[in-house]
Amino acid sequence: MKTQLLIAVLSVAWWVVTPTFGQKITTMRPYVQEQTRDYVEITKIELTNDYTIIYFSYENTRQRPSLFDLFGNGDGGSGATNENIQIDPKSRLYEPQNVNKKFRFIKAEGIAISPENQRVYVGDRVKFVVYFERLTPGIEVFDMYEGKDYKGFQFWNFYGIHIKNPKPKTKPQPTKPKPEPPIAADAPLPVPSTTVSTLATVRGTVLNAKTKQPVAAKINCVVPNDDNGFDSLQLSASSGKFKLSLAPNQRYNYAVSAKGYLPASGVFDLSKTAGGQESNVEILLTPVAVGEAITLNNVYFDVAKFELLPTSYAELDRLVSFMQDSPKVEVRVEGHTDNLGDFDENVKLSLNRADAVKQYLVGKGIAVGRVQTKGYGPTRPVSKGTSETERRRNRRVELAILKL
C-alpha cells in the first residue's frame, strides 16, 4: 500500500468551537498528515454528544484505474473509467500510538455499506457522511483505519487527522475530609493501593546502521483486533525516537521507512512482557548505497514451496513503494535456504523464491530490467547452529542494491 504524503498543501483548518461538551464542535477541512488514497478527501468533521461525524468527497477521474472491480462485471483493470465504491462497517477511529483506544463505525449516509456497493461513473463526484462513536474529549489528533488492501480492494485510511476537541473545563468541588477510622494498636498498617496499567510500553530509537545517529522515520505497526484481522498503527518518529502503547503478551510486526534508507521490518516481541512494563528497542536503517543488502523479514513461503503467502504482500508493497520513489535503483533479489535436504534442490528452490518476489514486483509496475535474481541455496548461512531458530534465520530472502 503506497501512502501519499499530504505535504501541507496548506488546507487550513477552521474551527467553530462551542464552550460546552453538550453542543456541536465543527472542524472545516481538517489537516490530514497522510492518507492512502488522494482522490478521497475529508471536508468537515462534527463532534456531537453521540457521534464523530466525518464528511467525505470522492471524485472519479478518468486518469485513475478502477478502484474496485468487485464482481468482474465491467470496467476493471488498467484504464477503466467506472468504479464501485463502498465503506467497510469494520472501519474505526483510534488514537495514534494507542490502537487499543477505538471508536467504532455506527452508520453511513450517501455511500453503500459493504457488502453492498455503488457504481460511480467517470467525472462524477460523491459526497457522503460516516458516523463513528464520539471521540473522547481531549483527543485532537486521530487516525481513521478502514482496512488493509487485498485482492483488488483499496481501502481509505487517514493518519494524523487534526481537529478541535478540547477537554471540558470543570471547576473542582471542595470536599470535606473524612475522619479516619480508629485503628487498633495491634492492627496491621494499611497497604497503599496501586494501579497497574493494562498496556505495555515500547520506547525506541531509529538509528543509521552505519553512524548510529538518530533518523527521522515513519513506523507502521500491525496490531491484531477482534473485528477484521488487523489494525495498521502508523506514527512518525521525527527525532528518531518513538513511544507505543500496546497490549502485552503479543508479538507485533513492524515496518520502518525513511528517505535515503532501505526499508526495514521486524517484530516487537511483547510475548513475555506484562501490562505496565516497558521495553526499549533500537531499529537500524541501512543507507541506500551500491552493495548494501537487507533481509526481507516478512516474506513467507510454505515449507519446500515457492508460492508467496498473502502475509508477504505488505512487505513487498513497501518494497514497491521504495522502488517507485527511487526510479533509478536496480536491485538483486537473493534467495537462501538452510542445509537440510538435497543441495541442488535447495539451490533451485532459493532461485524460484527469488523469482516469485521479482514477479510480484513486476506485476506491480516495476520494470523487469530493474530486478535481477539469484539463488544461493545453503551456501551463505548467517547462522551455523543446528536449532530450528537458527535454521529459520538461514531461510531468507535478501535484497541487494546494484545501481543508484
The CATH number, out of the four listed (2.115.10.20, 2.60.40.2190, 1.20.1250.20, 3.30.200.20), of the domain defined by the range 197-287 = 2.60.40.2190
| Ramachandran angles phi, psi of 302, nearest 5° | -70, 160
Q: Is 352 left (phi over 0), alpha (psi -120 to 50) or beta?
A: alpha
pLDDT digits (tens, 9 = 90+) for 108-166: 999 999 999 888 888 888 999 999 999 999 898 898 988 877 766 788 889 889 999 98
Residue ranges per structural domain of the chain: 4-162, 197-287, 288-404
pLDDT of 191 reads 46
Helix (H, G, I), strand (E, B) or coil at 287: strand
| CB contact at 8 A, 63 and 75 | no
Question: pLDDT averaged over consecutive 10-residue blocks of the chain (404 residues)?
Answer: 33 43 81 84 93 92 43 39 86 78 91 90 89 92 84 81 85 62 51 57 92 91 61 78 86 88 89 88 94 89 90 87 92 95 94 96 95 95 87 92 94
The one-letter amino acid code at 267 reads: V
pTM above threshold 0.85: no
Q: What is the pLDDT of residue 368?
A: 95
Helix (H) or strand (E) holding 360: helix 343-363
Q: Does domain 288-404 have CATH number 3.30.43.10?
A: no
Which residues, 6+ apart, have CB-to-CB distance to 119 below 8 Å?
A: 82, 83, 84
CB atoms within 10 A of CB 63: 8
What pLDDT is recorded for position 251?
A: 84
CA-wise closest residue to 81 among 64, 93, 95, 57: 64
According to the model, what pLDDT value does residue 196 have?
44
How far is it, in rounded angstroms, from Cα 32 to Cα 96?
A: 13
Grid coordinates in use for 202? 515500547
pLDDT of residue 180: 58
Give the chain's largest Cα–Cα span.
Answer: 87
Give CA–CA dist 138/88, Å, rounded: 27
pLDDT, tens only, 250-274: 888 888 989 899 988 888 888 888 8
Enumerate the β-bridge partners of residue 59. 125
